[in-house]
Structure 1
Amino acid sequence: MPTKRPHAAAKFHHAYMSALRSQTEPAHVLANILVQKLREQGIDGSKHFDIIERAAGRVLAAPSVAEQSSFDLDLDDEVTGGRDVNIHLDSTDLERAIEGITTAIEAASRDIYDSFSTTALQNVLKNPAERLLHLKNERDAFMRRLELTWAGPFKLLDIHVALCQEIGEARNEWLRKRRRRAKDIAVVDVVTRLHGRTVQVAGEVQALLRNGFADGAMSRWRTMHELTVTAMLIAERGPDVAERYIAHVSADSIKAARQYQRYASVLQHRPISAREQKRLDALAVDLERNYGKPFLNDYGWAADTLGNPNPTFFSIEAAVDLDHLRPYFKLASNTVHAGAKGTFFRLGILGDGDGILAGASNVGLQEAGRLAALSLAQITTVLLLIHPNTDSIIWSRVLSSLSSKIEKQFVRVQRRIEREERQRRKGET
């Protein structure tokens, strides 16, 4: 694609200069003035611009006429209706001519851009199979190499995710049947839902890892960590916190509605009706009355149990003793946001490389892989230990051991890649 740009630029320059010449040609400029002058005399010359342009050329070719401020204009009867036409020019006509040239050039530029853009898009969409075949072949070959390199940890992670999903399904059914009328059914409801989301996100992590997107996988692990931390606090603090978490759905909806209302006109969407706005305002009053003013804040569901009117995720993380994972959370945040660190440091670039990573890579997968296994084991253990029994304790130990094995496998493969890269560079020197 880049090799075609100079050619396209040259063609655009040629088209632009051609339009510029046509719009600034003296006969064309004078013809525009004459059309306006004829209109002032009740003659519509716009339909006969070619005839008027030829007449303008004749005027310019006769210096004795062109130098006069007033002259007779020789036009066909079909233009003038048989009337004699005398033209008088003054300084304002020149000013209008200059404005007209500027407007015409701007319009011509837009037309040229539109034409070239349309042509470029048509070329891009022409024969897509041929255009994409090379990329597809490269991608398929990369995927085969990636799968072969990381086969061991990928397989273990597959087993881990499948096992956690099976445990989640069985545990959800068992708990809901046994705790249907229990006071802590809200805890069961929230934790099982959070667990289900975590398993789903783990699948997204797997897909990103298998496609060589380490940074994307790390960003999705961050979500797994947030879900795990939330589940831990709710399971630990009990039904009251679980019920507040469920009620916070309304607080989140109110905040979303207010943001929508603020930007609805800019987005050209229909604003929230006065009736719906009144209902949301009443709902906010009820929530504040029932749970306190801090409840409407982000993470307001945790305000009371933490004794903090404005809790953050980090304060929840510290309350469940998972703040030691904060450096990894920050690393994952760098991959999500547009900060300098995330721009210049990418997990998919090996070592201190200064390259620009615009696609997949076969390195850096170990962080998201091992952390995903850890978080999934943690939240599944939370679920298992809601009313624990012998089976749940055994399976929680199994998950911990399996998570450790997965971590070792991912780290081992990454170290092998780094060792091979060092040997390759040493051989080149």
Structure 2
Amino acid sequence: MGKLEQDDEKPDSYFEMTSEKSVFFSIFLDIAHEQIDRGVEVDEAVRKTADAFIKALPAITQTTVQSLHESKSTLLDALTESRRQMESEIQDKWGTAFGNYQAVAYLAYELCNKAREGYLNSLEHGGSEDLTVEMLFLLLGRACTVAEEVLCLMRGGLEDGAVARRRTLHELAVVTNLLAENSLLSLGERYQDYAVVEQYEDMKNYQENVERLGYTPFSAEDVETVREQYDEMLTKYGSTFRKPHEWARPLFTSSTEQITFVKLEKLVKLDHLRPFYRQSNHYVHAGPRAALLNVIDRDYGSFIGVGARWDVALGEIGHGSLISLLQCTSALLAYDFDAHDNPDITVGLHCMAQLVDDAGLSFSRASSRHG
């Protein structure tokens, strides 16, 4: 009986890995060699060793996990220090741009609050409720949150995630401008009512999968309540209201034309931003283009870009996000509601526009610096 040999040119099919590449493979190899030394055929030694390894796998796993738990504090300390160094490098390059970004984002939040206070004050003094402006406040509030998420992801070196959230800001800008520019078509009410359609579809999908998830299903009473609300919406707007983007149907002359987001972009003349939107889609979905974009090329080779990186390209992401945030903010503040007697809002909006330009310049300057 011969020893197991590892030929570099023609590796044994069982042992293409070397013991240096795997701790457990090294153990596996040692056990197989012991059996072969006792006269067991190679194939039989491998089979017996594999069977023994499979039986021992739960115990091996438990022991390994326990060891990892015992050593993880050292690992976490090292990872924390590595992240600190990476974020420090990012801050050194993009810090000024980040500061300008944060100033714009905070001003948008403050302007939203100021306008909201004025609107609520008008209601207390006999003003009329306006469902469209209520929706605009909700959308701008969400835009402010998403803008903060973009900033956190940029600071953390997570470029792909920042691109994905920047995409959301563009969507919010499109919807906000559609509602603001078409208030006479009751789009605000339709937009709010369409939430019932989404809730019904969410609940139906949840109920279909709840058993496999091991979760608690909604009660029959809850399901019936949402179903009744859903039926009411279809009665109110027609059976086609269940289709995507049907809240925007009054904007289209044909009652059968399929409504797409591309068409909504064109209506508010933001379709020139579609190249950025399409690129952002790759960082949201699981298409082949997204997989290829995850390969990072460097002078010393290529690797799969998992996790945060210090060498991120943030110029368009940061500036583009602020432009979308400004589009959301200006749509609300330009809308005709009972809060426009405050000159602070007008001045604030003009200041915000200037700050967005300033931030764009700082992002551009940072992008031009190497390292």
Structure 2 length-normalised TM: 0.80
What is residue 290 of structure 2 aligned with on the other side? 342
**Structure 1 CA distance for aligned equivalents of residues 296 and 316 of structure 2:** 11
> What's the counterpart of residue 212 of structure 1?
157
For 1:358-412, what per-residue CA distance to the aligned partner results, in whole angstroms no more than 9, with x for missing partners? 2323321112111111111111111211235554443332222211221121122
The equivalent residue for 2:77 is: 133
Aligned twin of 1:93: none
Q: Are 2:284 and 1:284 aligned?
A: no
By how many angstroms is 1:184 displaced? 5.6
Aligned to 1:58: none
Distance 2:63 2:215 in 1: 33
CA positional deviation for 1:166: 0.9
Is residue 32 of structure 2 the alignment partner of residue 7 of structure 1?
A: no
3-state SS, counterpart of residue 283 of structure 2: helix
* Structure 2 CA distance for aligned equivalents of residues 403 and 179 of structure 1: 32
Q: 2:310, 2:334 → 1: CA distance?
A: 39
Larger radius of gyration: 1
* Corresponding position of 1:124: 68
Change (3 A) 1:248 1:348: farther
CA drift of 1:16 comes to 7.9
Q: By how many angstroms is 1:258 displaced?
A: 1.4
Tell me, yes or no, if the aligned pair for 1:295 and 1:301 is still in contact at 8 Å: yes
Q: Does 1:228 align with 2:181?
A: no
Match of 1:198 in 2: 143
1:262 matched residue in structure 2: 208
Assess if the C-alpha contact under 8 Å between 1:348 and 1:365 holds in 2: no
CA–CA distance in structure 1, aligned partners of residues 137 and 147 of structure 2: 15
Separation of aligned partners in 1, 2:88 and 2:78: 16
Quote the offset at 1:194 in angstroms.
Answer: 0.7
Contact 2:111 2:345 (8 Å CA) reproduced = no
Picking from 123, 133, 143, the partner of 1:188 is: 133
Task: Quote the residue 1:154 is aligned against.
Answer: 98
Structure 2: distance between partners of 1:297 and 1:246: 15
Report the identity percentage. Answer: 24
Residues 219 and 333 in structure 1, CA contact (< 8 A), matched pair in contact too:
yes
Which residue of 342, 347, 350 corresponds with 1:394? 347
Q: Can you list the C-alpha shifts for 1:74-94, whole angstroms capped at 9, x where unaligned?
A: xxxxxxxxxxxxxxxxxxxxx
Counterpart for residue 272 of structure 2: 324
- 1:316-355 CA distances to partner (integer Å, 9 max, x unpaired)? 222111111111111111111122222222598689x843
Residue 378 (structure 1) aligned with residue 327 (structure 2):
yes
Deviation per CA, 1:22-47: give whole Å up to 9, x if none.
xx9xxxxxxxxxxxxxxxxxxxxxxx
| Match 1:406 to one of 351, 359, 366 | 359
> Greater relative contact order: 1 or 2 (C-alpha under 8 angstroms, separation 6 or more)?
2
Distance 1:381 1:332 in 2: 24
Equivalent AA in structure 2 for residue 150 of structure 1: W
TM superposition shift of 1:245: 1.2
2:350 partner amino acid:
R
Deviation at 1:227, TM superposition (A): 1.3
1:242 equivalent to 2:188? Answer yes
The answer on whether the counterparts of 1:164 and 1:376 sit within 8 Å (CA) in structure 2 is: yes
- 1:16 and 1:109 in contact (8 A); partners too: no
Aligned to 1:315: 263
Structure 2: distance between partners of 1:363 and 1:286: 49
Alignment pair present for 1:142 and 2:86: yes
Contact 1:348 1:363 in 2 (8 A): no
1:362 to 311, 323, 332: 311
Q: CA deviation at 1:208?
A: 0.8
- Name the SS for the 1:355 alignment partner: strand
1:113 equivalenced with 2:57 (yes/no): yes
Cα distance, 1:356 vs. partner? Answer: 2.1
Does structure 2 conserve the Cα–Cα contact (< 8 Å) formed by 1:160 and 1:402? yes
Aligned-CA RMSD value? 3.2
C-alpha distance 272-135 of structure 1, shift in aligned 2 (>3 A): closer
Cα offset, 1:174, TM superposition: 0.7
> Does the 8 A contact of 2:295 with 2:304 survive in 1?
no
- For structure 2, the 5+ residue unaligned runs are 1-17, 41-46
**Partners in 2 of 1:227 and 1:141 — Cα distance?**
34
TM norm structure 1: 0.70
Distance 1:14 1:381, change over 3 A: same
Query: What is the distance in 1 between the residues matched to 2:94 and 2:296?
Result: 14
Partner residue, 2:9: none
C-alpha distance 107-253 of structure 1, shift in aligned 2 (>3 A): farther
Moved more, 270-279 or 247-256: 270-279
Q: Find the aligned partners of 1:3 and 1:196 in 2 and give their Cα distance.
A: 57
Does the residue aligned with 2:212 lie in a helix, a strand or coil? Answer: coil
